[in-house]
Amino acid sequence: MNTAELSLARWRKSSYSANNNACVEVAHLDDGRVAVRDSKDQGHGPALIFSPPEWNAFVRGMLDGEFSPTSAT
């Protein structure tokens, strides 16, 4: 996926994010994939692209606390 294609994506930030550009943005793409980028790059930096199963696994891990600092033992 090239930069021009991602520029057409509808990006959104979490409502929990502050206005300091230190957060991530997510775009659900037309083909089912999900793109994630750093908001401080203002659309000029790289984006990670996840397939639907990869994104679902990530979201499940987040909800289960898999990435919480307290869960690392």
- Residue appearing with tokens 């775009």: 27
Sequence-ordered list of residues with C-beta below 8 angstroms from that of 67, at least 6 positions apart, any chain: 61
Whether residue 73 is contained in a domain is answered as: no
7-19 pLDDT, tens digit each: 888 999 877 776 6
Q: What is the C-alpha separation between 59 and 65, in angstroms, rounded?
A: 10
Yes or no: say if 34 and 26 are a contact pair by the CB < 8 Å rule: yes
Angle at the Cα of 55 from the Cα atoms of 72 and 69, rounded to 5 degrees: 15
46-71 pLDDT, tens digit each: 899 999 999 999 999 989 999 888 75
Q: What is the C-alpha separation between 3 and 47, in angstroms, rounded?
A: 9
What's this model's pTM, rounded to 2 decimal places?
0.77
What is the tally of structural domains in the chain? 1
Q: How confident is the model at residue 72 (pLDDT cuts 50, 70, 90)?
A: low
- Structural domain range at position 17: 3-68
Whether residue 9 is contained in a domain is answered as: yes
